[in-house]
Amino acid sequence: KKLRKKMNWKKFYKELKNLENKYKIKLIATKEDFNIKETKRIEKPINKGEVLNAKLLAAGWYKDQSITSYKNRAITIINQKFILNKIIKIKIIDDSNNIYLAKKI
């Protein structure tokens, strides 16, 4: 079976628009369709590069992943086997959109 070339997003949405016009049906969802409203971002109490002492509270979704909490935020720790209440030193390696990722140091 021959595979087609990948389509970029601009081309994809243009094709969806053509299909909408052809079949008179809405295919492209907007923020308004789901009543999504822009709001202020919540404060980021933790920054990338910050070093913390963390108590392991739960296992993560994946093997060798643990969850801790700091300043009312959950932090996912990668490459760390979960042992309840174990205290380790961690470094925040990503803080995008108030989603925190850390590694043991």
In a domain, 66, yes or no: yes
In a domain, 76, yes or no: yes
15's CB contacts (< 8 A; 6+ apart) are 7
- What's the confidence (pLDDT) of residue 5? 82
In a domain, 32, yes or no: no
- What's the confidence (pLDDT) of residue 23? 97
pLDDT in tens, 10-48: 999 999 999 999 999 999 999 999 999 999 989 999 999
The tally of domains found in the chain comes to 1
In a domain, 16, yes or no: no
In a domain, 37, yes or no: no
- Per the rule left: phi > 0, alpha: psi between -120 and 50, beta: everything else, 85 is left
In a domain, 41, yes or no: no
In a domain, 3, yes or no: no
In a domain, 27, yes or no: no
Structure tokens at 92: 């925040």
Domain enclosing residue 95, as ranges: 51-104
pLDDT in tens, 66-99: 999 999 999 999 999 999 999 999 999 999 999 9
CATH of the domain at 64: 2.40.50.140
Cα 50 to Cα 102: distance, rounded to the nearest angstrom = 9
Structure tokens at 81: 């086997």
